[in-house]
Amino acid sequence: MRKRISYMIVLAMLLVSAQHSLAQNGGISIAAGAASFRMGDMKYLQEHILSTYPVEGKITSSFPPFTAASFTVFKQLYDHIRVGGRYNYSTTGAKSSYADYSGDIYTEFNAVSHRLGAYLSYLVLGGDRIDLSLNGSLDANYTSMTIQSYYTIFNYSDGLSNKYRSISPSIAVGGELMYKLKKLSLGMEAGYLVDLKGNLKDTSDGDPLLDPKDLDRVLSSDWTGWYLQLKTLIWLDF
């Protein structure tokens, strides 16, 4: 009888301990910074459109590193593991132009990425104040791409604008270094995103954006690149 009571006490202690480890706090994190973007097809299309100008224009920007931000809701499963969901926002663009006394001509690309997916973080090194973690996410990436060209000649203006979209899977891996306060952690996050590309289609009629030199090939978006962000983590009880 005493053995059974002892076993029950030990079992209860184990259950309470396991429950404690599984019922840690959760929280939210907000990060903002910059990212680079490959965008090989769009750079190729920009150069092709420039070559069709009736005058010699120039590229003033071509999908440079630009804004990247994320919002994450997470749950602390164990001391070293956090899981949750993450939303990422990125934007970039490009511009080509020409201007003289008689008028001007320009082409602009405006690209926006919305990524939503699952998030996982693993604590590699933890201390009283400093935490070093590895993290990753698996996302669905929705891209909105607007391409517009306009010209003005002796006060006469005309142009066209087309909007395209694509959906692609993407994988991000990175690390974060955080300084811990009571209910707040501050730090930075860096990593690399692999976008598996998405074929661009016109939002109005669904037609694919074809390579002007090879009509059998559909052009795609590609957000592959490095990112660096400042990050704030807020711990909550739930």
Task: Give the pLDDT confidence of 149-162 residue by residue, as tens digits.
Answer: 998 888 888 889 99
Quote the percentage of the chain above a pLDDT of 70: 89
pTM given for the model = 0.85
The answer for residues whose C-beta is within 8 angstroms of residue 16's C-beta and 6 or more apart is: none
Q: Flag whether 66 is in a domain.
A: yes
Residue 173 lies in a domain: no
Question: Mind listing the pLDDT tens digit for each residue in 23-51?
Answer: 448 999 999 999 999 999 999 999 999 99
Q: Please check the confidence at residue 17 and state whether its pLDDT lies above 50.
A: no
In a domain, 176, yes or no: no
How many domains does the chain fold into?
1
Q: How confident is the model at residue 233 (pLDDT cuts 50, 70, 90)?
A: very high
Question: Is residue 140 included in any domain, yes or no?
Answer: yes
Cα separation, 128 vs 69, in Å, equals 28
pLDDT at 20 over 50: no
Would you say residue 174 lies in a domain? Answer: no
Q: Is 43 a member of any domain? A: yes
* Closest among 109, 114, 106 to 159, alpha carbons compared: 106
Distances (CA, A) of 21 to 18, 82, 126, 147: 5, 12, 16, 51
121 within a domain of the structure (yes/no): yes
CA distance 166 to 218: 11
pLDDT above 90 for 64: yes
Domain that holds residue 124: 2-23+34-167+190-237
Question: Using CA atoms, how far apart are residues 114 and 52, in angstroms rounded to an integer?
Answer: 32
Asked whether residue 29 is assigned to any structural domain, the reply reads no
